[in-house]
Amino acid sequence: MLDLAPVQRRRTGVAAPSAGRDVEIVVPVYNEAAVLDRSIRRLHRFLTDGFPFSWRIVIADNASVDATPEIARRLAAALPSVQHLRLEQKGRGRALRAAWERSEARVVAYMDVDLSTDLRGLLPLVAPLLSGHSDLAIGSRLANGSRVVRGPKRELISRSYNRILRTVLRARFSDAQCGFKAVRREVLEPLMGDVQDNGWFFDTELLVLAQRRGLRIHEVPVDWVDDPDSRVNIVQTAITDLKGVARLLVAGTVARFMAVGVASTIAYALLYLLLQPLTNAVAANILALALTAVANTAANRRFTFRIQGRDEAVRHHVGGAIVFVLTVALSTGALGVLHGLESTPARSLELTVLVAASLTATVTRYVALRSWVFARRRHAIASYAK
């Protein structure tokens, strides 16, 4: 249940003390002199007339060179609960980061200055966060129940981009680009330290990192009307976003696991070639796997799953050893089949069969490490972030 009693005073338009404020709404702007006054006054009226939580509006101006700063200062002086934040460097992500880092509100949100998203979606956006039901909330133009008015070009680009996110980064949210999002401040602090982008890719990166940490993302269907006067450079933004997607892919758990796997496979092959002349193929296989398994578990612990320190290290290595037995079983079985077909196979053929068997076990090894060996620590990190 939501505690609405302490925030009924918002109906008067007078802000609550900073430490007790429920929602802070950031409006990032760059050269928006034509629409800024009208949009902020409209947003202010909407919040004053019936929004049931304490609030503040922050106009985050990122290096505008037109009359935007002057208009923002005038609005902050004239309207209660409106502040102006000026940055000398451009970047929507940079503006959001600066405003959110200084906020003391329970929930921080942002919306685009054109107010393309129907403001009636704001309460469904922030309510699940204030109740503790979710950690992040996003307006979605692609969710069931949304109503969207925009041209076919933007529709195609938006759907294609979100399809790329779902395919490449396994995103489970439907609309990364809608300028209508909110985050509980207590989960935001550990997230923003790892967000690298300061431009348009900022919120996509924030969402992907939140999903990877097991945070709860709530989607709100919204009514949205395209702004024909948008100043977004679609081509340049798309290129930048695709670069960001590639960076997150490389930094993802699967990519790091694959890198460790490739290094382990090379080390295993070299060790097998060194040991095989000194003993038989089965013994050389087991020894080479045993030596690389220890290094593989340690590398995945630190590099793939980002676990440092000695906490549960013994348990992790014991789990890794059990997973290693599976690889031994598969590779030994493959070796037995090979020797059954040919009594004295070439060393290169033995190595090829063993590497193929090891690669076959890789998927199972990844699932076991992620869902069992390192699962408890990952869940603890996600819980701490909440």
Q: Distance between CA 283 and CA 56 in Å, rounded?
A: 69
Give Cα separations from 177 to 39, 149, 236, 350 (angstroms): 20, 15, 15, 51
What number of other Cβ atoms are within 10 A of residue 338's Cβ?
18
Q: What is the C-alpha separation between 120 and 82, in angstroms, rounded?
A: 20
Whether residue 218 contacts residue 137, with contact meaning beta carbons closer than 8 Å, is answered with yes
Alpha helices in the chain (DSSP H): 36-50, 68-78, 92-102, 122-130, 152-168, 185-192, 202-212, 234-251, 253-275, 281-299, 313-341, 347-368, 375-385
- CA quadruple 341, 344, 347, 351: dihedral sign: positive
CA 223 to chain centre: 25
66 is catalytic: no
C-alpha 129/C-alpha 41 separation (Å) is: 25
Which residue among 203, 226, 227, 311 is the active-site one? 203
What's the start-to-end Cα distance of the chain, in Å? 19
Dist CA 22 CA 126 (whole Å):
9
In the block, residue with structure tokens 């923003």: 192
Nearest to 281 by CA among 348, 369, 341: 348
Give the active site residues. 203
